[in-house]
Amino acid sequence: DPSATWAEVDDYFAAALAGEDDALVHAAESAAATTMPEAAVTANQGAFLALLARVAGARRVLEFGTLAGYSTIWLARAVGEQGHVVTLELEERNAAVARQNLVRAGVAERVEVRVGPAADSGRALVEAGVEPFDLVFIDADKPSNPLYLAAALELTRPGAVIVVDNVVRGGAVLDADSDDPRVQGVRAVVDAIAANDGLEATTLQTVGGKGWDGMIVARRR
Ligand code: DHB
Ligand code: MG
């Protein structure tokens, strides 16, 4: 079973390089108290997101989908003390878990958790004319991916990085006729990115603790 090896290799690199501290370990464990216990990114994926943010020199990050705030902590640390993260979460119950984790991680003062449907919160940010974001991580309900991409494009400038999680789904993305709305949400956002000359993008397939999945990494031209 190769997937057993993937998970072991994931653990090996996470232990060697990802450097999870107690606050991140606790945040990962507290996912059990959220409405989606298995959805957090892995340590290696969190470190990858943080590296992307650093390489991009990101100071302002927008995240669709908070849950326990595990990826939020990685991103908040990456933007530094002067940086700012806005993270959008549907459920107050999850936001409460996340806020505790952000305090424990020492980044609560640079993170704003907004509760409600992320499409509504995104629109409110557009209407408020907030300062543009440098990196957007789209990781909420998958059927709304196209809406979140549209909001991300309104809330960023050229040079910004847009990442979309869970775009491989164990290979299910290949099924154009899938009756899974999450697969259709992925395929729709792939089509939207492909049709947008203002975006350059690729997909990074990932294996490891969460099985076989992947992220789109896009950049605004
Ligand atoms: C699901 C959502 C996620 O964000 C994730 O990383 C894994 C799974 C899901 O909707 O099943
Ligand atoms: Mg995800």
Mean pLDDT of the chain: 98
Mean pLDDT of 53-65: 98
For residue 65, give its domain range.
2-220
Structure token digits, residue 154: 């309104």
Tokens encoding 101: 């984790």
Task: Dump pLDDT digits (tens) for 105-132.
Answer: 999 999 999 999 999 999 999 999 999 9
* Torsional sign, CA 149, 151, 154, 157: negative
Question: Domain with 215 in it: what CATH number?
Answer: 3.40.50.150
Model confidence at 19: pLDDT above 90: no
Instruction: Give how many domains the chain has, as a whole number.
Output: 1
Task: Find the mean pLDDT for residues 186-197.
Answer: 98
User: Using CA positions, which residue lies closest to atom 1 of ligand 1?
Assistant: 39
For 40, the token pair is: 């957090």
Q: Is the pLDDT of residue 67 over 90?
A: yes
Give ion ligand 2 contacts, CB < 5 A: 139, 165-166
Residue written as token pair 């907030």: 130
Name all residues whose Cβ lies below 6 A of ligand 1: 39, 139, 142, 165-166, 182
Taking the centre of ligand 1 as the mean of its atom positions, its distance from the CA of residue 82, in whole angstroms, is 30
Q: Which of 64, 74, 141, 166 to mutate to test the pocket of ligand 1 (most atoms within 8 A of CB)?
A: 166
Q: What is the ipTM of this complex?
A: 0.96
Q: What confidence category does residue 2 fall into, taking pLDDT thresholds of 50, 70 and 90?
A: confident
